[in-house]
Amino acid sequence: MFGVFGINNDSVNLAVNLLILFLVVIWLSLIYWTFADARRRIADGMLVACATAASLFPFVGTIVYMIVRPPEYLDDVRERELEMQAAEARLHDMDHQLCPHCDYPVQRDFVRCPSCLRRLKDPCVTCAKPLDPAWPICPYCETEVPGSAEQQQPPRRRGRRSRRDEYSELGETAAFDIGSEP
């Protein structure tokens, strides 16, 4: 069979046969690998068939396929698109929130809920920008929000008692110091 190559020795013949078998196995597995890889990277079934057909040319077909194949897996492309969609949705959500009274979607700068008509924010007296009730000043024009001082009083009262005690203690020590100085 291998007389063409000038090989007559049986053991050399066997080695060449094994080598050819080995190459055929690699060739078949490369065809399968090309098919599997193309399926993960190419959405078009026709192009997958073309890539597999190209890999039928021993070794060269697979090498050419590896040069021209799409750089990304379809799964990665899909994942990236989903991530971008999620990021866009997050950006969109930053402008939207729910009305605390009726859960109607309202925008951040809404002063009144369009569904239940309840007041969500107070407009600044100077620049008319919508202000969060928790803000003591307008962050746009630095105007102090009237009424915010009254809202802050209850937490202060608790501190006042202890402060009064501190003051009285300070007064006693001060009186003591003055008395002892001369």
Q: By CB under 5 A, name the binding residues for Zn ion.
A: 99, 101-102, 104, 113, 115-116, 124, 126-127, 138, 140-141, 143
87/125 with CB nearer Zn ion:
125
AA identity, residue 24? V
* HEC-encoded secondary structure of 136-152: CECCCCCCECCCHHHHH
CB of residue 114 to Zn ion, shortest distance in Å: 8
Rg (CA), the chain: 40
CB of residue 149 to Zn ion, shortest distance in Å: 17
16/111 with CB nearer Zn ion:
111
- Where is 93: in which H helix or E strand? helix 74-94
**Cβ-proximal residues to 128 (8 Å cutoff; 6+ apart), any chain:** none
Token pair for 20 = 């050819």
CB of residue 93 to Zn ion, shortest distance in Å: 18
CB of residue 89 to Zn ion, shortest distance in Å: 23
38/124 with CB nearer Zn ion:
124
User: Maximum Cα–Cα distance for the chain, whole Å?
Assistant: 130
102/174 with CB nearer Zn ion:
102
Whether the CB-CB separation of 55 and 69 falls below 8 Å is answered with no
